[in-house]
Structure 1
Amino acid sequence: MRVKPPFETVVRDHGGSVFRVCCAIVGAHDADDAWSETFLAALKAYPDLPADANLEAWLVTIAHHKAVDITRARARRAVPTDTVPECPGPRTADFDDLAAAVEELPPKQKHAVAYHYLAGLPYSEVAGLLGGTAAAARRAASDGIATLRRTYLDMRGDTP
Structure 2
Amino acid sequence: MVSERVSLPPFQALVDEHWRDVARLARALAGPVDGDDVAQRAWEKAFAAYPNLTSAKNLRSWLLTITSRCATDLHRARKPQSPLDQSLPVAVDGPESAEWPDPDLWQAVNELPERQRFAVTLKYVGDLDHHGVAAALDTTPAASRRLVSDALATLRNKLGVDHE
Give the TM-score range, shorter chain.
0.7 to 0.9
Is the 1:116–1:123 contact (alpha carbons within 8 Å) kept by the matching residues of 2?
yes
Instruction: Name which of 133, 147, 151 aligns with 1:144.
Output: 151
1:108 is the counterpart of 2:115 = yes
Residues 51, 140 of structure 1: CA spacing in aligned structure 2 closer, same or farther, 3 A cutoff? Answer: closer
Out of 94-103 and 36-45, give the one that drifted further: 94-103
Aligned partner of 1:130: which letter?
Answer: L
Decide which of 65, 72, 75 is 1:68's aligned counterpart. 72
- 1:126 corresponds to: 133
TM-score for the superposition, normalised by structure 2? 0.71
Residue 130 of structure 1: how far off its partner (Å): 2.3
Root-mean-square deviation over aligned CA pairs: 3.2
Secondary structure in 1 matching 2:63: helix
Q: CA deviation at 1:51?
A: 4.7
Q: Secondary structure at the match of 1:8?
A: helix
Contiguous gaps of at least 5 residues in structure 2: 82-86
The one-letter code sitting in structure 2 at the alignment partner of 1:60 is L
Identity %: 38
3-state SS of paired residue (1:3): coil
How far does the alpha carbon of each residue in 1:90-136 deviate from its partner, in whole angstroms, 9 at most, with x for none? x9x99844433221111121111122212222212322332443122
Match in the other structure for 1:7? 11
Question: CA contact under 8 A between 1:27 and 1:99: conserved in structure 2?
Answer: no
2:38 aligns with 34
| Number of equivalent positions | 145
Q: Distance in 1 between matches of 2:36 and 2:105?
A: 18
Q: Which runs of 5+ in 1 are unaligned?
A: 78-86
